[in-house]
Amino acid sequence: MTTAPATAGRERRTSDVVVIGAGPAGLMAARTAKAQGLSVTVLEARRRVGGRTWNGLVEGADGKDHFIEIGGQWISPDQTRLISLVEELGLPTFSRFRDGRNVYVDPRGERHVYDGLDFPVAEKTDREMDRLIAKIDELTAEIDAAAPWEHPRAAELDTISFRHWLEQESDDPEAIDNVSIYIASGMLTKPSHTFSMLQALLMAASAGSFRNLVDEDFILDKRVEGGMQSVSLTMAAELGDDVVLGQPVRTLRWAEPDPSTADEKNGVAADVRNGVAHDGAAGDVVALTDDYEVHARYAVLAVPPNLYSRISFEPPMPREQQIAHQHISMGLVIKVHAVYETPFWREEGLSGTCFGGGRLVQEIYDNTNRGENLAGGAPGEEDPHGTLVGFVSDVYAEQMWALPEEERKAAILGAMAEYLGPRTLEPIAFFLSDMAAEEWTRGAYATSYDLGGLSRWGHLQNRPTGPIHYACSDIAAEGYQHVDGAIRMGEAAALAIAEREATDAGQPTG
Ligand SMILES: Cc1cc2nc3c(=O)[nH]c(=O)nc-3n(C[C@H](O)[C@H](O)[C@H](O)COP(=O)(O)OP(=O)(O)OC[C@H]3O[C@@H](n4cnc5c(N)ncnc54)[C@H](O)[C@@H]3O)c2cc1C
């Protein structure tokens, strides 16, 4: 890996493929392209790889550093491409701690301890939740996660917000809050009235079914010992000097302007408003950073779609992309890490799993570390300290960031104590993941379309633009918004390029 020199002149590099972004998608694209015999340069804005996966540390009151996963961490059993990659890279995994009873806090603020997956709600609400989940799953089964816009009712399902769809179906607010948690605050991290039913169905279809999202033992199953960023760190180590850090791509030259679009009368220069012929084929690409100028035949744009507009495309992107990209935005969530001397909740027979639809902290899990990580530890051994992870989503996240630091901490710990009692108030270390403040992410967990955007623009998201191919978890089908989706998209983009090369050279792909 090269950390770029801070020189004024640009160093020239040439490769078959320039990959923009060294998150899991970009690194997988580079790894796959290399395995197909193509040369690559990966340009990464940050001074680290991994993007939204990030192995971190927090200092405790005990003076020791404790390991935290600032970004993405969990793997579910359906995420088979990530699972096989983790195995191939030789990274050990472990299961989330889930022994014991769970805690539910109802809309009146009453605390209930329960077993199994079903919230301890009134029988009527329980039946209503089951009915809503079954109905969502009937629709989910009709959705192709790779092309939700092709559903015969796509436009109609894209005009109604998830919240309004639930309210049309049910008059039980507790059932609505508890069902919406799994997609709104739990996944897209936007209020349920801001995205469509079609977007909600894509989220469910990408995980196999809505029922899979409801099942925390499924969706939050395993973690990588030492942290999920290790997947990217290991791929980057294999790629060596092909990865250049600290180099945001500022400009991407990608096509010849079409002279017929010039408008001399109004002083408009020629551009490519109508696109170019042969999307996906090789072209002349130049990626410019502050210190590098990379010449390539293909680009893989492996950054979240909300950041496409941070790059100056020369000529500008065709009009349909310029419009489409404005309808995609990041969600907002705070991942809360609280470290304790011991996992005290286990002494009370509790798993650490807590839910409360509509509350400040809506989900909590036991996130105690296992294995060797940045803070030490030994392979396979559990950290004696207990860690809780909680989530503060969308409007609550906005409210919390508006508070002074100590008030924010007190409010969040107070909300966590509603589930697990007064000992929750006294962590030895406390950390809030703040991906929205990160220039090269700007939100969490991922992006989604505004109302009506998916049916109108979704079909463009994976279609190459000239020699530019796209790869990111946020435009994935299976594994949408997850590391698995990033890996799948990176691999697919590189294979599409290799196939194109082979077709153009008249050879079969290897
Ligand atoms: C708090 C949090 C918790 C999450 N939890 C989970 C989880 O438990 N399980 C799970 O599977 N997923 C989870 N995710 C989502 C997961 O982390 C992402 O889906 C995944 O990291 C996406 O990978 P990517 O490569 O597509 O994009 P990213 O990881 O965002 O990588 C994109 C890279 O592009 C770089 N970049 C951006 N602009 C430029 C530019 N102009 N030039 C050069 N480089 C640029 C960025 O710096 C970044 O490194 C979570 C995310 C967050 C934020």
Q: Is the CB of 78 under 6 A from ligand 1?
A: no
- Residue 5, burial from CB neighbour count under 10 angstroms (0-12, 13-18, 19+): exposed
Q: How far from 334 is each of 71, 148, 304, 408, 497, CA to CA, in Å? A: 10, 29, 18, 11, 37
pLDDT for res 215: 87
pLDDT digits 0-9 by tens, 69-114: 999 999 999 999 999 999 999 999 999 999 999 999 999 999 999 9
Alpha carbon nearest to ligand 1 atom 48, residue: 51
Q: Is the CB of 481 under 6 A from ligand 1?
A: yes
Band of residue 506 on the pLDDT scale cut at 50, 70, 90: confident
Q: How many residues make up the chain in this entry?
A: 510
What's the 21 CA to ligand 1 centre distance in angstroms? 9
pLDDT digits 0-9 by tens, 431-488: 999 999 999 999 999 999 999 999 999 999 999 999 999 999 999 999 999 999 999 9
At the top level of CATH, which class does the domain 11-53+229-327+450-506 belong to?
A: alpha beta
Mean predicted confidence (pLDDT) in 253-269: 97
Q: Tell me whether domains 11-53+229-327+450-506 and 124-211 share a fold.
A: no
Structural domain spans, the chain: 11-53+229-327+450-506, 124-211
Tell the residue number behind the tokens 């790889």, with chain if given: 49
Band of residue 6 on the pLDDT scale cut at 50, 70, 90: very low
Helices 229-239/24-35 angle, 10° precision? 40
pLDDT for res 7: 52
Instruction: For residue 231, give both structure tokens.
Output: 């997947």
Q: How many CA atoms lie within 13 A of 454 on its CB side?
A: 36
- Structural contact between residues 272 and 252, judged by C-beta atoms closer than 8 angstroms: no
What's the 49 CA to ligand 1 centre distance in angstroms? 10
pLDDT for res 216: 83
Percentage of residues of the chain with pLDDT beyond 70: 98
Tell me the backbone φ, ψ of residue 365, rounded to 5 degrees: -140, 155
β-pairing verdict for 55-59 and 65-69: antiparallel
pLDDT digits 0-9 by tens, 189-206: 999 999 999 999 999 999
pTM for the predicted model, two decimal places: 0.97
- H or E element in which residue 28 lies: helix 24-35
Please tell me the distance from the alpha carbon of residue 99 to that of residue 225, in angstroms, as a whole number.
19
Alpha carbon nearest to ligand 1 atom 34, residue: 21
- Which residues, 6 or more positions from 251, have their beta carbon under 8 angstroms from its beta carbon? 286, 287, 288, 311, 312, 313, 314
Q: What is the mean pLDDT of the chain?
A: 96
Superfamily in which the 124-211 domain is placed by CATH: Guanine Nucleotide Dissociation Inhibitor, domain 1 (1.10.405.10)
Q: Is the CB of 445 under 6 A from ligand 1?
A: yes
Give the strand order in the sheet containing 243-245: 2-3, 243-245, 40-43, 17-20, 298-301, 468-470
pLDDT above 50: residue 510: no
